[in-house]
Amino acid sequence: MRNYRDLQVWSKAYALTLELYKLSREFPKDELYGLTAQLRRSATSIGANLAEGCGRRGNSEMARFVKIALGSASELDHHLLLSRDLGFLKTGDYERCAKELTSRRKMLAAFLGAIEDELALKAKSAARGSVVLPEWPRAKLRNAKLLFSVQLKG
C-alpha cells in the first residue's frame, strides 16, 4: 500500500481543488447544485482517485484509478471553460487554473506511463520466467521527478 500524500501529483491536485473551491464561492447561488457542484466534484475526484488507487493492491489497480483521475481532469477542463464563458470565472482566474490543470494532466499521464511501463516489464519477465522487479522501478521514478516529492531509498 502506498501513501498518496507522498505523490506530488496528488499534492498539486489537492491545491488546485482548494483554489477552485474558493473561486466557486463567487458563482451565482442558483448554480450551487449545477455547475458549482460539478466543478467541485470533478476537481475533488482527481485527488480522491489517486488516494483510492494508492489504497489498492497492485499497479494494475493503481493504473485504473489514475485513468479515472485523468477522466476527471478532462471533465474539470470542460467545467472551467464553461465557467469562464458564462462569466462566472474571470479570464485571469480561468487562465491560471487551466494552466495548473494542464500541468496536473501531464503529471498524471507521466505517472500512468511509469506504472504501465512497469506492468509491461513484469509481464515480459514473467513470460520469460525471470525474476520480476519490485513495483515502480526506482530508476524510472527517479527520472520522472514530477511523480514524487519524497526521496526514494535504494
- Inside any domain, residue 150: no
**Residue 48 CB partners (closer than 8 Å, separation 6+):** none
In the chain, the N- to C-terminal Cα span, in Å, equals 18
- Inside any domain, residue 32: yes
- Inside any domain, residue 149: no
- Inside any domain, residue 87: yes
pLDDT of residue 122: 85
- Inside any domain, residue 154: no
* Count: domains in the chain: 1
- Inside any domain, residue 78: yes
Nearest CA-CA partner of 48 in 22, 13, 15, 20: 13
Domain range enclosing 43: 4-143
Number of C-beta neighbours around residue 18 at 10 A: 10
Query: What SS3 state is found at 106?
Result: helix
Cell of 153: 531509498
pLDDT tens for each residue of the chain, 154 residues long: 789 999 999 999 999 999 999 999 999 999 999 999 999 999 999 999 999 999 998 899 999 999 999 999 999 999 999 999 999 999 999 999 999 999 999 999 999 999 999 999 888 887 877 655 555 555 555 555 445 544 444 3
**Cα–Cα distance between 125 and 53 in angstroms, integer?**
24
Going by the DSSP 8-state scheme, the letter that residue 49 receives in this structure is: H
- Inside any domain, residue 152: no
Identify the CATH number of the domain in which residue 57 sits.
Answer: 1.20.1440.60
- Give the count of alpha carbons within 13 A of 75, CB side only: 17
- Inside any domain, residue 83: yes
Containing 56, the helix (H) or strand (E) segment is none
Q: How many helices (H) and strands (E) does the chain have?
A: 5, 0
**Cα–Cα distance between 41 and 51 in angstroms, integer?**
15
Q: What are phi and psi of 86, to 5 degrees?
A: -85, -5
pLDDT of residue 63: 96
